[in-house]
Every structure is written in structure tokens, then in C-alpha cells.
Amino acid sequence: MPLYRQFNTQEELDWEYRPEARIDDPEAFEKIIAGRIAEANEARKVLTRTADVPYGPTRMEKLDIYLAAQAGAPIVIFIHGGYWFDGRLKKENYIWVAKGFTNSGVTTVIIDYDVCPKVTVDEIVRQCRAAVAWVYANAHTFGGDRERLYVTGNSAGGHLAAMMAVTDWVEDYALPADVIKGACPISGLYDLEPFQYTWLQPKIQLNGQQIRRNSPILHVPAGAPPLLVSWGTEESSEFWRQSEAFGAEWQAKGNGLTLHPQEGRNHYTVISGFADAGSGFLKVVMDHMRRCWK
């Protein structure tokens, strides 16, 4: 029997789900991290920032707020990736994401969360939900408009953004059902089943119940917010399939959906447009946001 769909071996699945393995330069990932840190350091010099605001009781439950120029601005929450385990990737590495949004008139919140195996994927999802609830409850304290709240993220952050969009905010948090007006999961993982058979399993230690609880494709409700699902055309066939299958399930439940494959982008460059308010991708995201707020 195959391990997952048509894949018979771990090596086959690793090839699909280990993006750095598909890049010829073995040091490419380290160069990407170093470049993003340099970008973040430059962005820090020009942005208005409130750092390390606690949204929960644990040490990693903190967020940074980057203010748009005008009061009452809409809010985007960005959730970074790292395949749920890479502690090197923190909110400080992604300050540059706020440049494009704040220059487009959107206050930006970038969150941190604990990683596996210190915590489970269940706990990571809980922390991100707590961050969204905190932003909704406290938006007035930093001049944001909680009625125009949008969530985005890449890779594991794309998965987490999707999990925010399937959350039952009424039942679990006593908040309005439409806390999130829209979301843009990017290069996300929407079915966690294959990861128990990959190089990731020793790091994230999934079991069957965790997979079922935290695969957003299994929890799509009717009446969910509109999604803009994006990925890079240079990504593996499984990233394509996961994005398209999740989108199909979203649409099948009667929810708004836009699919946006980014031409020539790979798993690492797919969010590069967030650094520039004039980029084609950020214009697509901003247009989607505005349609969600109407």
C-alpha cells in the first residue's frame, strides 16, 4: 500500500515537501535566512513599532505591532512559517513584511509562537487563535479597526492562517463569527496526513488525532470568510495540489475563493512582494482585502 496517495516511500514525499531539497545550492536556505534578517534590520529603521506585546501567558506568546500612518486603519495579522519546528524563524525576521502593508495604509501585526517538539501543533494553533482574539479585543488601544481584520501567512504560517479561518469563534471564544473578514494562506499545508511519513515527523511528532484536528481541509465550514489562496508556480506538485484541493473544498461549502498561483515564485520567494507596496502580489492581496471589507 502507498504511504500517502500515490507515494510509496519517504524519499518521494520528502522530495515533495522539503523545499530546500529542490534548490541546487545546498547553502541556499541559510542565505535566505541571512537575507531576510538583513531586510528586517533595514525595515526596523523606518517603521513605527511596538515590540513584544504579550497576547498570552507563555514566553513566546508575543506580537509586534507596526502602525499605519492613519488612525483607524485596517489590520493584517501575519503568521510566519518554519514548518512548525524551526525556532530560528521568529517575528523579528519578518519585519520587512510590514513595509508593504503599512505603506498601503494597513497596520500590521506579526506574531510569534512556540514550536515543536517543545509543544504540539495543537498548541501552536491555540496560540495563534489567542493572538487573533487579543488583536480583536485590543485593536482600539493601538488605533486599529477590528472590524477590518485580515490574516495571512506562509508555509506553516499558511496552514495556521487557514486554521484561523476555520475557527468557530462564537463557540470557542464567545466572539463574533466574522472576527476575520478574510485571509490569504500562502504555500500552505492543508492536509497534514503526509507529514507523519516524512523527515518532519521526528520534529513535529504528529499522531492521528492531531492530524484530524489540525488539517483545515477537514474542517471547512459554511459561512467562512473569503480566501485568497496563493502559491508559487515553481513549487512542487504537492504544494499545487494541496492549494487547489483546499480551495475546491472551500468553494464547495459556498465560501468565497480566489486562487492565485504566482508565476516564477518558489516556496521562499512567494512572499517577497510583501516588502513593496508597489508589487503585483501585494496589489492582489490589497484588492482582496478591500473586497472582504465591503
- pLDDT for 166 equals 98
pTM: predicted TM-score of the whole model, two decimal places? 0.97
In a domain, residue 1? The reply is no
Nearby residues of 66 by Cβ (< 8 Å), 6 or more positions away = 47, 48, 49, 95, 98, 101, 102, 107, 108, 109, 110
Q: How far apart are CA 147 and CA 49, in angstroms?
A: 22
* DSSP summary character for residue 12: H
CATH number (domain holding residue 228): 3.40.50.1820
User: In total, how many domains does the chain have?
Assistant: 1
Asked whether residue 5 is domain-assigned, the answer is no
What is residue 23's predicted lDDT score, i.e. its pLDDT?
72
**42-89 pLDDT, tens per residue?**
999 999 999 999 999 999 999 999 999 999 999 999 999 999 999 888
Helix, coil or strand: residue 294: coil
Say which residue the cell 515537501 belongs to. Answer: 17
Helix (H, G, I), strand (E, B) or coil at 287: helix
Residues 6+ apart with CB under 8 A from 263: 233
Neighbours of 9 (CB within 10 A): 11
The answer to whether position 2 is within a domain reads: no
pLDDT of residue 100: 96
User: Is residue 203 in a domain?
Assistant: yes
DSSP string, 153-206: EETHHHHHHHHHHT--HHHHHSS-TTS--EEEEES-----GGGGGSTTHHHH--
- What are the grid coordinates assigned to 36, written together? 531576510
Per-residue pLDDT tens over the stretch 215-249: 999 999 999 999 999 999 999 999 999 999 999 99
Instruction: With respect to residue 74, please indicate whether it lies within any of the assigned structural domains.
Output: yes
Q: What is the dihedral sign for C-alpha 52, 58, 60, 66?
A: negative
> 3-state class of 227 per DSSP?
strand
What is the span of the domain harbouring residue 173?
A: 10-293
3 lies in a domain? no
Q: Block means of pLDDT (10 residues each) for the chain, length 294 residues?
A: 95 93 72 86 93 97 96 97 92 95 97 98 98 98 97 98 98 97 98 97 97 98 98 96 98 98 94 95 98 89
Cβ atoms of residues 275 and 92 within 8 Å? no
Cα(184)–Cα(236) distance, integer angstroms:
20
Q: Can the peptide bond before residue 226 be classed as cis, meaning omega within 30 degrees of 0?
A: no
User: Does residue 206 lie in a domain region?
Assistant: yes
Classify residue 36: in a domain, yes or no.
yes
